[in-house]
Chains A and B, each alone.
Chain A
C-alpha cells in the first residue's frame, strides 16, 4: 500500500506495483502486482482466472488511468463481453473509449501445416500494435497455453514464450498470464518456469458439500506478501478477497456509549450501556429471549437514527419482524426508513469464509453503526469449532476496526455456566450477557447476568428478565429465605411483604390511640387535683380573713371599752 510513495527516503531501487483494484488483493500483495513484470495466475478450470484478469484490466483502465489489452485465446471477444456484463463492466463501450482492447487469438490446428522453422512474430506484432493503439500499460494473456495445443513445435513455442515475456518486460507493461493447473505442477506447460516474479494460485475447494474459493500467493519476488490461503468471493460486484487475519490489534477504542435498548440493562452496565465499537455476546439456552434482546438493540439503534444490519441465520426477516411486534417493537418502520437491513441466509448456503465476506461486503455498502448476528451457533453446521472461532475473530477484528458495535447471540446447549459458549468466543467479546432459565416452584423464568463487561462498572446481580407486551425489562429478583425468587414466587413474596406492611401500620395506629386515651385520663386527673388544691387554698384564706376580722373587731371593742372606762373615771 505504501510502496506507491515514490519519494522513498532511500535511494535504493524498489519494486513498483500496479494496483489491481480488487478488494482485498491489494492488501495482501501490499500494493498490487509487480509493475512492468509478468504475473502468473494459475488454477483449475472455473476458479476465476479470467475474471481476475479482466478485473485487473477494468480497474486499471477506469481507476488508475492505465489502459489494458486483453488477449483471449479461449473465448471470443463477444462472448467475453457478454460474460463480464453481469459484473457491470461494459467492455464494448470501453473499447470504443480506447480504454481496453480485446483481441481474440484463434488457432485451429487442423488448418495449419508446419513446414519448417517459424517464430511467433505475428503474436508480437499484434500485441505490440494493440498496446500502441491505446497506450496500454496492462496486458492479459488468457490462456497462453492454448498455443501448445495449436502448434506442434514445443521447442519453438517455449523459446518464443521466453522471448515474449522478456519483450513485455522491456515494454514495461504489467502482464497477467493465466494458466491451467496441471498434475503436480502449477500449470500444465510449466509456465511458472518463465514467469518468476509473481505467481498466484487460485483454488476451488468443496468440503462437506460446501464450496470455498481460495487464493494463495505462491511467490512474489522482491516483495513481502501475505502467505496464507485467502478466501475470495465472486458475486455481482466482482471479486473480493478477504485477508484472513489483520496483522495488528491496533484499532481505536471509543469511550462513547451506546444504549442496549433496555433501560434497566443500561443501568446494570454502569448506567449508560455498551461501549461503541465493542462486541457483545448474548448467550443462553433455547427460548430465553436472545433474539428479543437482539431485536431490541437493533430497534434502539434505529430509533436513534443510526443504521443497523441484522444477519439472521435462523429466522426469516418477516418472522423476526412479526415476533418483535408482539413485544411492542416495530422493526418494519425502520426497514421502510432504510435504517435497518435484514440479511437472512441459511448457514449452509455457503462456506464460513463466504459468510464472512458477505457480511464484510454488506457492511461496506450499508455502513451501519451496529450489527447483529443471530445466532452464531448455527454457523457450526458449516465448519468446525476452530474454523468458526477464527471467522468470528476476524469478524470482530473487522468490525472493531470500523468502529461498529456488534451483538452476537449464541445458543448454549448446556445449562452449566462453566461450559461457556460453544464457540468459545466469550473470551473475545467485550461484554457477555448470559440469559438463563431459573427453574423454581414449578415454573421457568429468565434470569440475566452480566458475565463480563470490559472497562466499565457493571452489576454483579442476577436480574429477572421479563418479556412483556411493552418490551423487555429487568426486575430485581427477590432474595427470600430459600434463595433467589422469580416469577410468581417473587410476586407472592411481594404480596406477603405488602400484607406485612399493612398489619404493621394497623398495629402502630392502635397503640397510638391507647396512648392518647391514657394521656387524656391523666390530664383529667391532673385537673381534679388542681381544683382540690384550689378549694383547700380558699379554705385556708377564709380562716385567715376571719382571724383578721376577729382581731380587728376585738381591737375595736377593747378601745371602746377603755374609752368608756375613761369616761366613768372622770365622772366619779
Chain B
C-alpha cells in the first residue's frame, strides 16, 4: 500500500490538506488529453490552491513505468494526503475521482 509513497520527495507533514498529485499520460492520446482536461477542472473546482499537479509523459520517461508500477494509463497517483491512491482512466467520472481523492462533495 505505501510502497509508492516512499519515493515521493515532497514533505507531507506540513499541510494535511495539500494534495500532491501526479498524472501519468501517454503523449497526446485521446484518453490522455481528456484526463488532463478533466483533472485540471476537478482540481480547480474542488481544491483550489491546495494542490500540486505534475503531469508526466511516460513516453518521455520510460523507466518510470517500472518504478511506479504503471500498467494502465492514464494514471493519477495521489501520494498526499494519506492514504495513497491510484486512479486510472480519463477522469471523466467525477464522482469516482473525488471518491478516490478522498473529497466529499457535501462540503
Chain A CB within 8 A of B91 CB: yes
Interfacial chain A residues near B72, Cβ < 8 Å: 112, 118-120, 122-123, 151
Shortest Cβ distance from A106 into B: residue: B69
Q: Is A136 an interface residue (CB 8 A)?
A: no
**CB-CB < 8 A to B76: which residues of A?**
115
B62 within 8 A of A: yes
For residue B43, CB closer than 8 A to chain A, the reply is no
Cβ-closest chain B residue relative to A151:
B72
Asked if A116 is an interface residue, CB under 8 A from chain B, the answer is yes
User: How far is it, in angstroms, between the C-alpha of A130 and the C-alpha of B62 when the chains are bound?
Assistant: 9
Contact (Cβ within 8 A) A115 B75: no
Bound-state CA distance A107–B70 (Å) is 9
Bound state CA distance, A115 and B35, in angstroms? 9
Check: B24 CB closer than 8 A to any chain A CB.
yes
The distance in angstroms between the C-alpha atoms of A129 and B61, with both chains bound, is 10
Contact B58 A115 (CB under 8 A): no
CB-based contact B86/A111 at 8 Å: yes
Cα(A107)–Cα(B86), bound, Å: 11
Asked whether any CB of chain B lies closer than 8 Å to the CB of A108, the reply is yes
Q: A121 near B: Cβ within 8 Å?
A: yes
Chain B residues with Cβ below 8 Å from A315 are: none
In the complex, are the beta carbons of B91 and A108 less than 8 A apart? Answer: no
**Residue in contact with A113 in the complex, picked from B58, B92, B100, CB distance below 8 Å:** B100
Which chain A positions have C-beta within 8 A of B35?
116
Which of B12-20, B26-34, B44-52 lies at the interface? B26-34
Contact of A125 among B65, B74, B89, B97 (CB under 8 A): B65
Whether a CB of chain A sits under 8 angstroms from the CB of B53 is no
- CB of B93 within 8 A of CB of A116, answer yes
Bitwise, A109-148 to B at CB < 8 A (1) or not (0) is: 0111111111111110110111000000000000000010
Q: Which residue of A lies closest to B76 (CB)?
A: A115
A125–B62 CB distance below 8 A:
yes
Residues of B within 8 A of A111 (CB): 1, 84-86
Q: How far is the CA of A147 from the CA of B99 in the complex (A)?
A: 23
User: How many residues of chain B are within 8 Å of chain A by beta carbon?
Assistant: 36
A350–B18 alpha-carbon span in the complex (Å): 64
**Do residues B1 and A115 form an inter-chain contact, with CB atoms below 8 A?**
no
List chain A residues, Cβ under 8 A from B65: 122, 125-126, 129
A118 and B24 form a contact (CB under 8 A): no
Structural contact, A126 and B66, CB atoms closer than 8 A: yes
Q: Does A103 contact B (CB under 8 A)?
A: yes
Whether B100 contacts A107 by the Cβ 8 Å rule is: no
Write the chain B residue with the least CB distance to A103.
Answer: B66
Beta-carbon contacts of A312-326 to B below 8 Å, as 1s and 0s? 000000000000000
The complex places the Cα of A105 from the Cα of B89 at a distance, in Å, of: 19
A154 to chain B, nearest CB (A): 13
The smallest beta-carbon distance between A448 and chain B, in angstroms, is 72
User: Are A113 and B87 CB-contacts (below 8 A) given A103-B66, A119-B31, A129-B65?
Assistant: yes
Q: Report A-chain residues with C-beta under 8 Å of the C-beta of B10.
A: none
Docked Cα-Cα span, A128 to B66, in Å, equals 11
Q: How far is the CB of A164 from chain B (nearest CB, A)?
A: 11
Q: How far is the CA of A115 from the CA of B76 in the complex (A)?
A: 10
Inter-chain contacts of A107 with B (CB < 8 A): 69, 71
- Are A118 and B86 in contact, with the CB atoms below 8 A? no
For the complex, give the distance between the alpha carbons of A10 and B98 in Å: 64
**Cβ contact within 8 Å between A121 and B29:** yes
Closest-CB distance, B73 to chain A (whole angstroms):
5
Q: B88 near A125 (CB under 8 angstroms)?
A: no
Contact between A125 and B26 (Cβ–Cβ < 8 Å)? Answer: yes
Number of A-B contacts (CB under 8 A): 106
* Per-residue interface assignment for chain B, residues 81 to 107, with 1 indicating a CB less than 8 Å from any chain A CB and 0 otherwise: 000111111111100110110000000
B96–A115 CB distance below 8 A: yes
The answer for the CA separation of A114 and B90 in the assembled complex, in Å, is: 9
Q: Tell me if A122 and B24 are in contact (CB < 8 A).
A: yes
User: B32's closest neighbor in chain A, by CB?
Assistant: A121
- Nearest CB of A to B76, in Å: 8
Contacts known (A113-B100, A121-B26); A105 close to B69, Cβ less than 8 A: yes
Minimum C-beta distance from A135 to chain B (A): 15
Determine if A125 and B75 form an interchain contact, defined as CB atoms under 8 angstroms apart: no
Query: Is the C-beta of B63 less than 8 angstroms from some C-beta in chain A?
Result: yes
What is the distance, in angstroms, from B39's C-beta to the closest C-beta of chain A? 9
**CB nearest neighbor in A for B94:** A115
Q: Which residues of A contact B71 (CB under 8 A)?
A: 105, 107, 120, 122-123, 126, 147, 150
A331-347 contacts to B (CB < 8 Å):
none
- Measured CB to CB, the closest approach of chain B to A300, in angstroms, equals 63
Which of chain A's residues have a CB closer than 8 A to the CB of B74? 118
Inter-chain CA distance A298–B105, complex, in Å, is: 87
Tell me the nearest residue of chain B to A111, going by C-beta.
B86
Kindly state the separation between the CA atoms of A128 and B63 in the bound complex, as whole angstroms.
10
- A181–B100 alpha-carbon span in the complex (Å): 35
| Docked complex Cα distance between A112 and B69 (Å) | 12
Closest to A156 in B: B72
Residues of A within 8 A of B58 (CB): 121-122, 125
Taken together as a complex, chains A and B put the C-alpha atoms of A108 and B71 apart, in Å, by 11
Contacts of B26 in A (CB 8 A): 119, 121-122, 125
B25, closest chain A residue (CB): A121
Interface string of A216-227 (1 = CB under 8 A from B): 000000000000
Q: Among B31, B38, B66, which residue has its beta carbon within 8 angstroms of that of A129? A: B66
User: In the bound complex, how far is the Cα of B60 from the Cα of A300, in angstroms?
Assistant: 73
CA distance A129 to B88 in the complex (A): 21
Chain B nearest CB, measured from A71 CB (Å): 10
Instruction: Return 22 A-B CB contacts under 8 Å, by A number.
Output: A105-B69, A113-B88, A113-B97, A114-B89, A115-B91, A115-B92, A115-B96, A116-B34, A116-B91, A117-B31, A118-B31, A118-B72, A119-B72, A120-B72, A122-B24, A122-B26, A122-B58, A125-B65, A128-B62, A129-B63, A129-B65, A151-B72
New A-B contacts (8) at CB < 8 Å, excluding given A113-B85, A115-B90 = A111-B1, A113-B86, A114-B87, A114-B89, A115-B76, A116-B92, A120-B72, A121-B26
- A-side residues, CB < 8 A to B, are 103, 105-108, 110-123, 125-126, 128-130, 147, 150-151
Closest 5 CB pairs of A and B: A113-B100, A116-B89, A122-B70, A116-B92, A115-B89
